[in-house]
Copies of this chain bind each other. A is one copy, B any other.
Amino acid sequence: MLIGVPRESAAGETRVAVTPETAKKFKAAGHTVRVERGAGLAAACTDAAYEAAGAELTDAAGALGAELVLKVQRPSAAELAQMKPGSVLVGMLNPFDAEGLQAMAQAGLTAFALEAAPRTTRAQSLDVLSSQANIAGYKAVLLAAHHYPKLFPMLMTAAGTIKAARVVVLGVGVAGLQAIATAKRLGAVIEASDVRPSVKEQVESLGAKFIDVPYETAEEKEAAEGVGGYARPMPPSWLARQAAEVAKRVAQADIVISTALIPGRPAPTLVSEEMVKSMKAGSVIVDIAAGRGPGGVGGNCPLTVANQTVQVHGVTIVGETNLPATVPADSSALYARNVLDFLKLIVDKDAKLSLPTDDDIVTACLMAQGGEVKRK
């Protein structure tokens, strides 16, 4: 097939859907790969590297006009206008954006949103939420360390001892676990909280302490266990007790990394303005849910401002909304491998499109086909 790789046009997007590494594999499998000039530049993938991998360089129209277009973010209206009806699009297309899906359907695309893949063992190698959350968790801690006016590790010097930073991680999914691991590497003392009791063991295995909030009713327990690996919203009674427990730890923390996201719903408020006020001068909050709070404002903290770093009540709040894009080479490397693995499900050994109807991953990811929104 003719595979097109446009340069991402969304503001702040530095990733690319195909790297020289995966371009070489597509080429070896019999595909033609056309990469828009400069598409990988921000991700340290030079045009020369794509050419050396056997890809052809082209312009935006050349990349968007291909049979199979591989993207990071969903196409803009201008990009959709350059795509051919009947062509296949694979990317992070935002399955909860009904309007966006409608636009792709109207453009006649067969569109696959990789975020919609089931969280099964077979789908792990193409799980873009995990691959990108991993990087987000790492970078969240580095940003915290960047803004924190002290050192992370304990240091014993001739001028006396410096205490290790106290880090509280809220939400222990893939991002939270990598945040714990990275903060631990840097020498911090870490406490972590999550609504799923099952993560306690993982938290402890990384050398952090789990903030326990016991369940008092059966309803609380059922909600905590959730469906499909994601927690369901917890009952207000439990949330109130958790907030109280977390508030105590946050008041003593130097760094808070909040990572609580529920797909298709606003991010829960875990760090209230009162809690921010209780923190020490110079403390740092990195809110991975920035821009995803109620109404698309705030994040896990209502004071978070999307894409800004603000100082409120003496606390620095980092609201970066696209953390993986701040580590573009490795986030692209992992994303490109996710895309490569997904394509193995929809392309046959003769490098032709072959859409199975009985594959749970393909079915789950299919968002639009034949002019219609297909999302389940």
Residues of chain A whose beta carbon lies under 8 Å from any beta carbon of chain B: 14, 42-46, 49, 124-127, 130-131, 134-135, 138, 142-143, 145-146, 148-151, 153, 155, 157-160, 162, 182, 185-187, 280-282, 314, 327-330, 333-335, 337-338, 341
Contacts and interface: CB of A to CB of B under 8 A. Distances in A.
A333 B131 CA distance: 39
A14 B147 CA distance: 13
B159 A327 contact: no
A162 to B, nearest CB: 6
A49 B281 CA distance: 10
B337 A124 contact: no
A158 B158 CA distance: 45
Given A46-B314, A151-B135, A185-B187, A158 B125 contact: yes
Contacts of A282: 43-44, 329
A341 B186 contact: no
B149 A43 contact: yes
Contacts of A135: 151
A193 to B, nearest CB: 24
Contacts of A125: 158-159
A138 B151 contact: yes
Given A142-B146, A185-B153, A314-B46, A158 B327 contact: no
Given A142-B145, A142-B146, 19 more contacts: A14-B149, A43-B149, A44-B282, A46-B314, A124-B158, A125-B158, A130-B158, A131-B158, A134-B155, A143-B146, A148-B327, A151-B330, A153-B182, A159-B334, A159-B337, A160-B333, A182-B186, A185-B186, A186-B186
A150 B282 CA distance: 28
Nearest to A281: B44
A157 B334 contact: yes
Nearest to A330: B150
A16 to B, nearest CB: 11
Contacts of A149: 14, 42-44, 327-330
Contacts of A186: 182, 185-186
A134 B157 contact: yes
Contacts of A335: 159
Nearest to A184: B185
A159 B341 contact: yes
B46 A281 contact: yes
Contacts of A143: 146
B160 A337 contact: yes
A321 to B, nearest CB: 17
A143 B146 CA distance: 7
A20 B225 CA distance: 47
Contact of A142 (B14, B142, B333): B142
A185 B183 CA distance: 10
